[in-house]
Amino acid sequence: MSLPFAVRPRAAARAVALCLLVALLTACARPQLFQQEAYVFGTRVDLTVYGNSQEQAEAAMAAVLQEFDRLHHALHAWQPSEVTRLNEALAQGDPAEVSEELATLLADATEIAERGDELFDPALGRLIALWGFHDEEFEPELPDADALQTVLEARPRMSDLTIDGTTVSTENPAVQIDLGGYAKGYALDRAAAILREMGVGNALINIGGNVMALGGKGDLPWRIGIQHPREPRPLATLPLYDGEAIGTSGDYQRFFEIDGERYSHLLDPRTGYPAEGTQALTVLVTPRERAGTWSDAASKSPFIAGDDWLRYLRAYDIEHGLRVADDGRIEVTRELNARLKIPSGVGPVRVVD
């Protein structure tokens, strides 16, 4: 009768050992940050996943980078791609068959361009090429004045496209598609979709300053910085919450200088020259469908508009925006100002409605 009682201490010891092992494994599985970097779309890409499983995080980030590589080769504006094949057909006056994906992107970009009075217009590839920005390393050289005038008179724009299913055509041979001001935002949306499909709910996706947040870091939101356009430090920092995306257009990203004058890749279709009046313009898009796309494309028209930037921000139903004018003045909407932490020495900041 004593045998059952004799084995109980051993069973209890095993139970304690098991509990200690479970506790140890639980401690080892605390959420942590997993990161990966790459160079795609002509810029640096940073992926950060917050979670328990390194295997899951690495698999998800690899899938995202594979998708970025696909988009880079499909949407490239001057290296062989589906976009360059489309441009060749349009220049010859021929209709082109494109993928369903590209047809959808073109239709979407057309809508965004029209809402912004076509200040941002991906049909301006020929103009961008004249300025030399269709090269990884561009020379400090002004475009030929006659060639520039020819493009201005032709007035290529997205509304010149006819999109019938997957058939794209135009009667304006000057139309040349360049999705450079749109593709990074679309890539953010694709990355978010892939991460969610693979079970990742907490991540930060950064494509050259275009950033989208999923979830957060435990109980904390992600926190990011807005680059100062003239100094090697943040202009401000702010929290970024689940489903939000932020993007900045700046004259410091791709530019050259001649006789002390800066010429950036952000061209004004009304003049054919780089836009003047703004150093940088940031938009924050709160959760909505295609938030990543909007964070990229919707910063362009307000940047080009200069002092009239707020009108174009509102045209896209965006309330959170910040502008650094060419003289260094900082203007920020009341909604975004409530989120910002601005370091000492930056400013003054003017809040606008």
At 253 the pLDDT is 87
Task: Domain of residue 190: give its range.
Answer: 33-352
Q: Is residue 3 part of a domain?
A: no
Measure CA of the first residue to CA of the last residue in the chain; give whole Å.
86
Confidence of residue 139 (pLDDT cuts 50, 70, 90): confident
pLDDT per residue as tens digits for the range 306-327: 999 999 999 999 999 999 999 9
Tell me which of 13-17, 73-77, 137-141, 173-177 is least confident.
13-17
Q: Is residue 10 part of a domain?
A: no
At 29 the pLDDT is 63
Average pLDDT, the chain: 92
Q: Residues near 169 by Cβ (< 8 Å), separated by ≥ 6?
A: 90, 94, 95, 96, 161, 162
Of the two residues 52 and 7, the one the predictor is more confident about is: 52
The amino acid present at 315, given as its one-letter code, is A
Structure-block tokens of residue 98: 């494109």
Confidence of residue 73 (pLDDT cuts 50, 70, 90): very high
Tell me which of 128-142, 154-168, 321-335 is least confident.
128-142
Q: Is residue 12 part of a domain?
A: no
For the residues 40-57, what does the mean pLDDT come to?
95
Q: Is the pLDDT of residue 42 over 60?
A: yes
Going by C-alpha positions, the residue among 204, 268, 257, 250 that lies closest to residue 45 is 204
At 21 the pLDDT is 42
What share of the chain in percent tops pLDDT 70? 92
At 126 the pLDDT is 97
Q: Is the pLDDT of residue 27 over 90?
A: no
Cα 300 to Cα 129: distance, rounded to the nearest angstrom: 18
DSSP assignment letter at 228: P
Which CATH number is 140's domain given? 3.10.520.10
Q: Where are the alpha helices (DSSP H) in 29-144?
A: 54-75, 82-91, 100-115, 125-130
At 28 the pLDDT is 52
Q: Is the pLDDT of residue 295 over 50?
A: yes
Query: Crossing angle of helices 183-197/54-75, nearest 10°?
Result: 150
At 30 the pLDDT is 87
At 206 the pLDDT is 98
Q: Is residue 4 part of a domain?
A: no
* Structural contact between residues 290 and 189, judged by C-beta atoms closer than 8 angstroms: yes
At 145 the pLDDT is 97
pLDDT per residue as tens digits for the range 123-138: 999 999 999 999 888 8
Q: Is the pLDDT of residue 197 over 90?
A: yes
135 is in an annotated binding site: no
Each as own residue / partner, the long-range contacts of residues 81-84 (CB below 8 Å, 24 or more positions apart, any chain) are 83/177, 83/178, 83/179
Q: Is the pLDDT of residue 20 over 60?
A: no
Structure-block tokens of residue 283: 């938009």
* Structural contact between residues 252 and 280, judged by C-beta atoms closer than 8 angstroms: yes
pLDDT per residue as tens digits for the range 227-270: 999 999 999 999 999 999 999 999 998 999 999 999 999 999 99
The torsion defined by the Cα of 283, 45, 157 and 110, in degrees rounded to 10, comes to: -70
DSSP assignment letter at 307: G
**Judging by DSSP bridges, how do beta strands 96-97 and 32-40 pair with one another?**
unpaired
Tell me which of 9-13, 52-56, 150-154 is least confident.
9-13
With 0-12 CB in 10 A as exposed, 13-18 as middle and 19+ as buried, what is 12? exposed
Of the two residues 25 and 280, the one the predictor is more confident about is: 280
Split into its structural domains, the chain has a count of 1
At 329 the pLDDT is 95
At 136 the pLDDT is 80
Q: Is residue 164 part of a domain?
A: yes
At 292 the pLDDT is 98
For the residues 280-297, what does the mean pLDDT come to?
98
At 4 the pLDDT is 37
Q: Is residue 326 part of a domain?
A: yes
Q: Is residue 47 part of a domain?
A: yes
Q: Is residue 163 part of a domain?
A: yes
For the residues 321-345, what does the mean pLDDT come to?
96
164 is in an annotated binding site: no
Question: Which phi and psi (to 5°) does residue 203 adopt?
Answer: -160, 160
